[in-house]
């Protein structure tokens, strides 16, 4: 216990556009990060591959390059928005260094790879990344990470007040 304040931990928080990842980050700030820690908080957003968006069409038709460009722009806007929202949640942190990273690929694999690449001491994430529609394509990101990351993983569910069919 005495060394909590002294040691420097790297805490990787996987954020996305869902409400749960915001809750996960808030919970982490309140419960894992101690006041005088020298922790580094890395906010990671993984832009899913374009196939996830195009597959949403479901018709099998190819999109024109205009539409694909618009989709890419939309993807970038979402990424910026998610990271900004996450940074806002962290705005009161004083001693903790906050870094942000935007990566691209299958979130399940990229998140697991990033824990190793960054040497994360713990991975924090919401239970349902990427909302119900994208989850149907991507599978449960948190389930995959729970089984594959080497470091401790903290999965934060919906808060009790809003928990429905979780």
Window 80 to 109, contacts with its own copies (CB under 8 A): 92-94
Q: State yes or no: residue 34 binds its own copies (CB under 8 A).
A: yes
Choosing from 15, 25, 29, 118, the residue that interacts with its own copies (CB under 8 A) is 29
Backbone angles phi, psi at 14, to 5 degrees: -85, 115
Q: Indicate whether 66 belongs to the interface with its own copies (CB under 8 A).
A: no
- Between the CA of residue 43 and those of 54, 65, 147, what are the distances in Å? 26, 31, 21
CA distance 162 to 166: 10
CB atoms within 10 A of CB 133: 11
Residue closer to its own copies by CB (options 79, 122) is 122
Other CB atoms within a 10 A radius of the CB of residue 33 amount to 17
Taking residue 13's Cβ as centre, other Cβ atoms within 10 Å add up to 27
Q: Does 76 bind its own copies (CB under 8 A)?
A: no
- 13 is a contact residue toward its own copies (CB under 8 A): no
**Is residue 25 a contact point for its own copies (CB under 8 A)?**
no
* 120 touches 11 (CB < 8 A): yes
Binding mask 124-143 for its own copies (x = CB under 8 A): ---x--------------xx
Binding footprint of its own copies on the chain (CB under 8 A): 1-5, 9, 24, 27, 29-35, 92-94, 121-122, 127, 142-143, 146-147, 149-157, 160, 163, 166
């Amino acid at each position: 216990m005495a060394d909590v304040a002294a040691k420097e931990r790297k805490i990787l928080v996987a954020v996305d556009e869902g409400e749960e990842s915001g809750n996960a980050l808030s919970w982490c700030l309140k419960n894992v990060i101690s006041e005088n820690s020298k922790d580094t908080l890395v906010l990671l957003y993984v832009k899913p591959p374009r196939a996830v968006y195009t597959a949403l069409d479901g018709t099998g038709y190819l999109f024109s390059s205009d539409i694909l460009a618009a989709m890419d722009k939309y993807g970038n806007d979402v990424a910026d928005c998610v990271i900004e929202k996450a940074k806002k949640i962290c705005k009161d942190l004083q001693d903790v260094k906050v870094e942000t990273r935007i990566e691209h690929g299958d979130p399940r694999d990229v998140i697991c790879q990033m824990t190793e690449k960054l040497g994360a001491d713990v991975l924090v994430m919401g239970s349902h990344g990427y909302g119900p529609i994208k989850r149907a394509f991507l599978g449960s990101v948190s389930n995959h990470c729970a089984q594959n990351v080497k470091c401790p993983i903290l999965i934060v569910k919906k808060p009790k007040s809003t928990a429905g069919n979780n």
